[in-house]
Each structure stands twice: as structure tokens, then as C-alpha cells.
A and B are shown apart, each in its own frame.
Chain A
Amino acid sequence: MHSTPAVETTALIKRYGDKTALDGLTLTAARGTVTALLGPNGAGKTTTVEICEGYRRPDAGTVRVLGLDPHRDAAALRPRIGVMLQEGGVYPGARAVEMLRHMAKLHAHPLDTDALIERLGLASTGRTPFRRLSGGQKQRLALATAVVGRPELVFLDEPTAGLDPQARHATWDLIRELRADGVSVILTTHYMHEAEELADAVAIIDEGRLVVHGTPEELCRGGAENTMRFSGRPGLDTASLLKALPSRSAAVELTAGSYRVTGDITPELLATVTTWCAQNGVLPDRITVERRTLEDVFLELTGKELRA
């Protein structure tokens, strides 16, 4: 549909003094998808997004946003993107409706601001100035200002940081609606669950480098981490079970009657195990399948906890 990706960076390097924020980051985000940049604090997520938004220039490497150079083509690019900063961005004395209407006036074909205010539950803020809104209300207003101009691409820097679960779900719903209507979304987060829930593609960033990039499905599949457990009669012949399983699997009796199979846990493998149990006259109970979470993937690839 579109020949150019939403975002394409090649070997981005950015240093602040002695500190290297980005160390050769190469990343592509497809149009019409939600891409989550996932990483611990200080990984380089915000720096990446701010280079795409035109706030910073990389020391080396190239960046294209909707096929444009964010710095050289800034005037052409700005009307086409929506930006939600990590915090602030609104006049402290302005009311929510006032600020949103103002941002709408800077665009040619804005959304209906009253509907958007209603949609994000900001109608009750009335005449309250921005500086006295709650953290969640501030976040939602910032989100509204990012989408009001009907952009092709929105950058959301930690859109749900510090939100309560209800507000977080409201934000997620809006992001899903954006994607359904063909808007590309780049968001940063350090919540695994958010990336799993929302993202078509996840880019795990650590120490300024792309560690891995793929769908949440792809990232969680494979590797030796996936585990299936079941209970049965003690002393089953795990060697014969292993023969029935694909190579690179393992089967052990952990404690009497408690078995663990590790490997690429697929529906076929599960069927193989239960068939083997049937052939041996065993009714397996407490069958569980544990798949890797993004948290496990992250720990495995970077050797650190995400929210360290």
C-alpha cells in the first residue's frame, strides 16, 4: 500500500558527552502497524523517538520518517505526525478543551474536539487549568493533542506510564482504533504487558542497540524456555517418551510423578505427549504449558530485568 515505511533508521549513533545513547540503532517500522520500542530506562527509546520527531540530530546514521528527513523536511513532515511527549507540552494555565481546540486550529482537517474530549473522559475537567489536572488527565490530554490533527503517524512516548488500569485500557482502546483506521503508531514502553497487548511488532532496545525485532508471537516462540508439565504415575519411562518427541526436546521426571518436557512446545508436541500417555495407560493431570513471555525473552537477550 505504501512504498515507504513509517520509520526507517540506519546505524543511528547519538552521544551526549561521554555517554552513548544510541550505538548503531537500525530499525524499521511498517506503515499501519503499532510498533513498540521496549527497553529499560536509559536504553535509548526516547532518544530514538526524539530523533524521528526532529528534536535531535543523530551524530551518525540516517533516519527517514514517512520517507522524509525529520530535520531537512521538517516543515513537510510536522503536519503529518502527531507527538505525545513523555510529559508536559501544554500551557500550565490552559484548560483541556482550550488546548485541544488550539492544537486543532493548527491543522487543516482536525478531529471533532468535543467528541475527542468526551471519548477520553476529559469533559469533567471543565475550567481546571492543566497544572491542576491529575497525572492521568494530563496524559490523556497529551494523547488527544497528538491525534487531533489526523496524522498518518503518531509517536507516543510512554503513553500509559503511571496510569491506573482503567485509564490504561482506555488509552489502549484508542490506540487500537487508530490502527484500525490506518494510523501508524510508534510507542515506547517499559511495560511488557503493554507491548504484548498492543504491538504488531516489538523492538527490544538495550544500551542504544536493537537487540531483537519481531512480532510478540515470534519473540516468544522458540528457544529452550518453553515448558510443558504434567503429573502421572511415578516412574514412567521418559526415555521412550523422548523417542516420540522431536529432536532438541527434553523430558525428565522432576519429582516422583511430576514430569517436565522442554523444547519447542507446539500443538503437535502436546498431542504426541498425550498420545504417548494413552499408549502407556496414563491419565496425565495438571497439564500446563508455559510459554516464554517477553519478560523472559528480554532477560535472556540482555541479561537484565526490564524494570531495573
Chain B
Amino acid sequence: MSTGVYTPRPGAAPLSRMIAAQAALETKLLLRNGEQLLLTVIIPSVVLALFSAVDVIDTGAGERVDFLAPGAIALAVLATSFTGQAIGTGFDRRYGVLKRLGASPLPRFALMAAKTASVLLTQILQIALLSVIAAALGWSPRGNGLYAAVLILLATAAFSGLGLLMAGTLKAEATLAAANLVFIILMVIGGVLVPLAKFPSAVQSLLELLPITALSEGLRDVLQHGAGMPWPEAGVLAVWAVVGLGLAARFFRWE
């Protein structure tokens, strides 16, 4: 047969190229989305800069920025891996993107790998930006950065699982509303801005079980106080990661 423009020549691209392309596109779309940028970049940056510079919150002993920088990093991780992921994936699902990709050569695990890579890449950019802002405000982090990285990875897994659970079960509009609401509530009660010590002690022990609290307190232990690996917080995050990802894997509906 003669060869025409459309003469079949099917074949999947190499897996690594598919994942790289998928991760690049997802990151590009996320960084282009105004609402997502507000959530992932602007709010954590403003929280850090404003409350470090202005004395409206009693952050306890020590420099305010040393208390707030780990909180702002925790908030940025929450924004990207939970809220952003839930809203983005919810709308991808509503627009049939997940369905369409399901008939493409890209395997599902590769799609999830690409989404994870995109989230981690975004978080690296966020943490770099927040570190620059914090440094300008006189931040002097202590401790082992590796411990902080482990906490952030565990939290990313936990938040992603919960975000995908929401995106894969609720309507896109419901996810949009709920994910933003959860973000705001956790920002206030999750030890991000307000020290846990300000809450009644009965409430405190409950709040300590939240993944956002475990992340912000764990990061503070390491980066503010120079502590070793905060195992209790890491344990809380690991449990949330197992539960969240397990539920998402069980209940996520692709269309």
C-alpha cells in the first residue's frame, strides 16, 4: 500500500518520555492557573512575610520568622498536594481528561507517577521561594534538612491520598468548595500560624493527630529547635498516608 499522511504507524512512546511529558504538562497547567497560584504561592508567602513582620500573633519565645517559616512550608505543602491536587484532579475528571488518558498509551500508574512528580516539583519551587523570603526576614534554620525532607514526603503522600479521595468521589464543584474550606480551617487550627499551646489542652491532643499539625510541628522541631527525627509526627503522617492512599485506591472513580 502506498504511504499517506495517516498511514497507520502506531506505537507507545518510551515510558520515561511519557511520564516526563505528563509531569511537565501538569506542572505548566498548575503554574498557569491563577486560583492555584493564589493558593500555592501567594497565600503561604503572604502569611510568612506579613506575620513575621507584624506582631499580631504571639508565636512564643524566639524570632517570629523561625516559628512561621516551618508553618508556611507546611501550608505550601498542604496547598499543593491536598487542595491543588483535589481541585485539579476533580476538574480533570469532570472534563473527561482522566477518561481520555485512560485510552491513551499512558498507563494509570504512569499518570499517578507524573502527578506525584509534578506535585514534588511544584513544592520544591515553593519551598525555595519561601526560604528566600524567610532568609530576607532573618530566618536561621537549624537541624537536619533530610529529616525535614522525610516529613515533607510523608505529608505529600498523606495529603495526596486525601486530595485524590475527594477528587475521585465528589463532584468537581463540591471538591472545589470542600478543599478550600478544609485548607482555611487547617491553616487556622493546624499549628501553622497559631501555636498549638494557645488551644485548650484537651483540644490540643486531638489537633496533634491532624496531618497538617504533624507536619508543621515536626518541621518546627527540626528547623526551629534543631531536634532529631520527630518520630511521633512522622508516625502520624505515615498512618494518614496509608489510610488516605488506601481509601483513594479503593474509591477513586475515573469518570
Interface residues in chain A, defined as those with a beta carbon under 8 Å from any beta carbon in chain B: 53-55, 75, 78-81, 83, 85, 87-94, 98, 102-103, 105-109, 111, 115, 130-131, 145, 147, 149-152, 177-178, 180-183
CB distance from B130 to the nearest CB of A (A): 25
Residues 4 to 46 of chain B near chain A (Cβ within 8 Å): 4-13, 17-18, 21-22, 25, 28-29, 32-33
CB within 8 Å of A: which of B223-255?
Answer: 255
> Residue B99 contacts which of A89, A115, A182 (CB distance < 8 angstroms)?
A89
On chain A, the residues within 8 Å of B171 by CB distance are none
20 contacts between A and B (CB under 8 A): A55-B102, A55-B103, A79-B11, A79-B105, A80-B10, A83-B100, A83-B104, A88-B97, A89-B95, A89-B97, A93-B29, A102-B25, A106-B104, A108-B10, A111-B5, A147-B6, A149-B10, A151-B8, A183-B6, A183-B8
Q: Which residue of B lies closest to A147 (CB)?
A: B6
Cβ contact within 8 Å between A91 and B13: no
Q: CB-CB < 8 A to B33: which residues of A?
A: 93
In the complex, whether B206 has a CB less than 8 A from a CB of chain A is no
Let me know if B209 is at the binding interface, CB within 8 A. no
Query: Could you tell me how many residues of chain B have their Cβ less than 8 Å away from some Cβ of chain A?
Result: 36
For the complex, is B91 an interface residue (Cβ under 8 Å from A)?
Answer: yes
Which of B17, B100, B106 is close to A88, meaning CB atoms less than 8 Å apart?
B100
Q: Provided the pairs A55-B99, A182-B1 are in contact, do residues A103 and B104 lie with their beta carbons within 8 angstroms?
A: yes
Q: Do A106 and B105 touch across chains, with their CB atoms under 8 A apart? A: yes
A181 and B4: CB pair below 8 A?
Answer: yes
Say whether B96 contacts A85, CB under 8 Å. yes
Q: Which residue of A lies closest to B255 (CB)?
A: A55
**Does B92 make an interface contact (CB < 8 A)?**
yes
* Separation of A180 and B3 alpha carbons in the complex (Å): 10
Residues from chain A with Cβ under 8 Å of B95 in the complex: 88-92, 130-131
Residues of A within 8 A of B11 (CB): 79, 107-109, 149
Neighbouring A residues of B92 by C-beta, 8 Å? 91
Q: Cβ of B28: which chain A residues have Cβ within 8 Å of it?
A: 98
Give the residues in chain A near B12, CB-CB below 8 Å: 78-79, 106-108
> Which chain A positions have C-beta within 8 A of B94?
88
**Which residue from B4, B7, B17, B104 sits with its C-beta under 8 Å from A78?**
B104
User: In the complex, are the beta carbons of B96 and A54 less than 8 A apart?
Assistant: no
* Contact present for A106 and B100 (CB under 8 Å): no
Q: How far is the CA of A215 from the CA of B100 in the complex (A)?
A: 31
Chain B residues, Cβ within 8 Å of A149:
10-11, 104-105
Set B4, B10, B25, B96: member contacting A107, Cβ < 8 A:
B10
**Is B60 located at the chain interface by the 8 A CB criterion?**
no
Check if B18 sits within 8 Å of A106, measured CB to CB: yes
Which 3 pairs show the lowest CB-CB distances between chains A and B?
A88-B96, A108-B11, A89-B100
B138 within 8 A of A: no
Task: Compute how far the CA of A78 lies from the CA of B103 in the bound complex, rounded to whole angstroms.
Answer: 6
18 further contact pairs, Cβ within 8 A, besides A53-B103, A54-B102: A54-B103, A55-B103, A83-B103, A89-B100, A91-B25, A92-B95, A93-B29, A93-B33, A102-B21, A105-B17, A105-B21, A106-B106, A108-B9, A109-B10, A152-B8, A178-B6, A180-B4, A182-B8
Tell me how far the C-beta of B9 lies from the nearest C-beta in chain A, rounded to whole angstroms: 4
